[in-house]
Amino acid sequence: MVSLSTANKDPEKLIWDELDRVTAGMLGLKGDSFELQPMSPNLDISTKSIWFYTRKSGDLARSIALGSEALFVVVGKDRDFHAVLKGPIEVNPNPARIEEYWSSIVEAWYHDGKDDPDLTMLQFRPRECSFWASTGNLLTFGWEIAKANLDPDKEPDVGVHKHIAFV
């Protein structure tokens, strides 16, 4: 369950904690023909980077050029966290990263394993994030909905919305 207290006190920590819990999000390039596709994030919190395995021959990798910007959209594991991260992305076939994040799940997609000639990595460095964190407490949620229904000028207070820039 997302921590609303962390969302208010240390939103960047909350974002990385929640990203570490998700298995996939939607990644796409900013541009004219904006398309998102499901991708599994691999975090390097020390460099504030998110790494993705992909195919060199895929549309996403082929579309990335110098200065490309990406969006990564995630919904938390418990559906009480939603985020849009924005920042630069590049193709970076870093062998150390391929090794570090390798798993049997990734291996299923690449017939020649870590040596697959079509395997590469994308490095995404989020610069900013908008997120929404909501309470998972049904009693609190119900109380806020009831109060809002009784007073047409009141909206339910069930969470936190923030926009932050990573430093």
What does 84-105 look like in DSSP terms, one character per residue? EEEEEEEE---HHHHHHH--HH
What are 38-87's pLDDT values in tens digits? 999 999 999 999 999 999 999 999 999 999 999 999 999 888 899 999 99
What are 94-149's pLDDT values in tens digits? 999 999 999 999 999 999 999 999 999 999 999 999 999 986 666 666 665 677 68
CA 60 to chain centre: 16
H/E stretch holding 122 reads strand 119-124
Per-residue pLDDT at 33: 65
Per-residue pLDDT at 158: 58
Q: What share of the chain in percent tops pLDDT 70?
A: 88
Cβ contact 167:48 at 8 Å: no
Task: Name which of 127, 116, 131, 115 is nearest 167 in CA terms.
Answer: 127
Domain 4-165 CATH assignment equals 2.30.110.10: yes
Cβ contact 105:139 at 8 Å: no
Per-residue pLDDT at 32: 58
| Average pLDDT over all residues of the chain | 90
Residue bearing the bigger pLDDT, 157 or 74 = 74
Task: Name which of 59, 58, 41 is nearest 125 in CA terms.
Answer: 41
What are 92-109's pLDDT values in tens digits? 999 999 999 999 999 999
pLDDT exceeds cutoff 80 at 29: yes
Q: Any idea which residue has 């040596």 for tokens?
A: 115
Task: Kindly list the domain boundaries of the chain, sorted by start residue.
Answer: 4-165
Q: Categorize the per-residue pLDDT at 20 as very low, low, confident or very high, splitting at 50, 70 and 90.
A: very high
**What is the rounded CA–CA span in Å between residue 85 and residue 31?**
15
Rg (CA), the chain: 18
